[in-house]
Amino acid sequence: MQTDEKNALQAASLWQHTPVLARQHLPLREAALLLFYHLRLLNWWLFGLMALGFLGVGGLCWLQLHAGNAPDFSRAGELSQFSLESGTGLFAGMLASALVVGDPLLEVTMATRTGIWGVAIWRSILSFLSFLCCAAIYLAWSLGNGISYAKQQSLFEVLLIWLAPVLVMGMLGLFGSLATRNAALGTMIAVLPLAGALFFHSYLLPIQATHPFFIPYTSWEADAPDWWANRLELLGIALALAVGNWWWLRREERLLGHLQ
């Protein structure tokens, strides 16, 4: 830990004393170093675990698809749908909760030209692209094997199945970690809406007013008339949480005081 902090401080000092012309000749090297630095801090094993999760679900779906009977084919569709909707949302909450909290070099990050807000955006893009890549590969494979996710099966509708829970649980995980100053608690806060929906869906599903707030709503009512309202409501919640996170991250001194 101390070695990392010492190296980062030396790098920041060298950057401040590097001539302007020399800086302009190292954009690619700087970008590559930033990429590996952020990947190292972003708990790279979670990315590996996410990839293994998609592979595991794909293997189970493949076995059920080749079982040769209708019930197994239906179960494969349900498993695939739940993984694409709720499983990716779970990983999004875990990774987003560690975007800022838990960084051992938070003070050094704030002292850079980018600032903590820019660093959070950079790490969010890396995480989102990793999710998008894994989900796109799995989605192409599952669609090629005949798994259906929606009645009309439009690209935009399938995208919302994945995008809404990823954004909601990701923004909720980041907000929870900033509020509690703990990445693990941030992950728990992000998982609470999903866990509550799964445990109490039999009691809440008959209540029409609760439908817009269900994260795994596609797994239960994929062709419901209020499905679009559910997805748009979740995207609105994600936007509100993103604004709150933006407000918090823009106040670096206040953030540093909370995280110490």
pTM here is 0.76
Residue 84, both tokens: 């694409």
Domain that holds residue 217: 30-259
64 domain-assigned = yes
- Helices then strands, each counted (H, E), the chain: 13, 0
3 domain-assigned = no
16 domain-assigned = no
21 domain-assigned = no
Q: pLDDT by residue (tens digit) across 100-147?
A: 776 555 555 555 556 677 777 777 887 888 888 888 888 888 888 888
Query: How many independent structural domains does the chain possess?
Result: 1
- The secondary structure of residue 212, as a DSSP letter, is G
Give Rg (Cα) of the chain: 21
Q: pLDDT by residue (tens digit) across 6-25?
A: 544 444 444 444 444 344 44
Give the three-state DSSP class for 104: coil
pLDDT above 60 for 228 = yes
12 domain-assigned = no
216 domain-assigned = yes
Continuous segment of H or E residues that includes residue 79: helix 70-82
225 domain-assigned = yes
Place of tokens 């009645």: 151
Give the confidence band of 232 by pLDDT, cuts at 50, 70, 90.
very high
| Mean pLDDT to the nearest integer, 141-170 | 83
Q: How many Å apart are CA 217 and CA 157, to the nearest integer?
A: 13
- Mean pLDDT estimate for the chain: 76
Place of tokens 């838990």: 102
245 domain-assigned = yes
